[in-house]
Amino acid sequence: MDKVEKFKDRKGVTELTQWQKNLLPNIYEAMLGSRDRFMVEQVLRQCTAAEGSKAGGSKGKTTKIVLVVGMAHMDGIERIFHDDFGIEKQNLGGEG
């Protein structure tokens, strides 16, 4: 597998982000960590807003929110949902 192909799958991207986190933690935080937290905050805000709108009489309906992110953000977002909110990976969907 050539170098470019390695970063087209999640395992390769995870290796790269871990390398960056260990070697360049400030850059990792600016490029990934802070953005992961921001995206989770936005999703939670939308979930709260959606739940509030259901209070008007749409009982029994499920609200779904789709989040499309770059592969480099997936591990961080999943980790935040799990560690901070107890949401397991299988409930997040996406590529395993």
In whole angstroms, what is the distance from residue 30 CA to residue 10 CA? 20
According to the model, what pLDDT value does residue 19 have?
95
Mean pLDDT by 10 residues, the chain (96 residues): 81 94 97 96 87 64 80 94 84 57
Query: C-alpha 32: how far from its chain's center?
Result: 10
95 within domain boundaries:
no
71 within domain boundaries:
yes
As for how many domains the chain has, the answer is 1
According to the model, what pLDDT value does residue 59 have?
61
| φ, ψ of residue 62 in degrees (nearest 5) | -100, 135
94 within domain boundaries:
no
According to the model, what pLDDT value does residue 7 have?
81
53 within domain boundaries:
yes
54 within domain boundaries:
yes
Look at the alpha carbons of 8, 74, 33, 63 in this order and tell me if their dihedral is positive or negative: positive
pTM for this predicted structure: 0.78
10 Å Cβ neighbour count for 72? Answer: 19
Residue with tokens 């990792």: 28
According to the model, what pLDDT value does residue 87 have?
83
Which residues, other chains included, contact 94 with Cβ-Cβ below 8 Å and sequence gap of 6+? 74
52 within domain boundaries:
yes
92 within domain boundaries:
no
96 within domain boundaries:
no
According to the model, what pLDDT value does residue 93 have?
59
Domain residue limits at 56: 3-86
In whole angstroms, what is the distance from residue 12 CA to residue 23 CA? 17
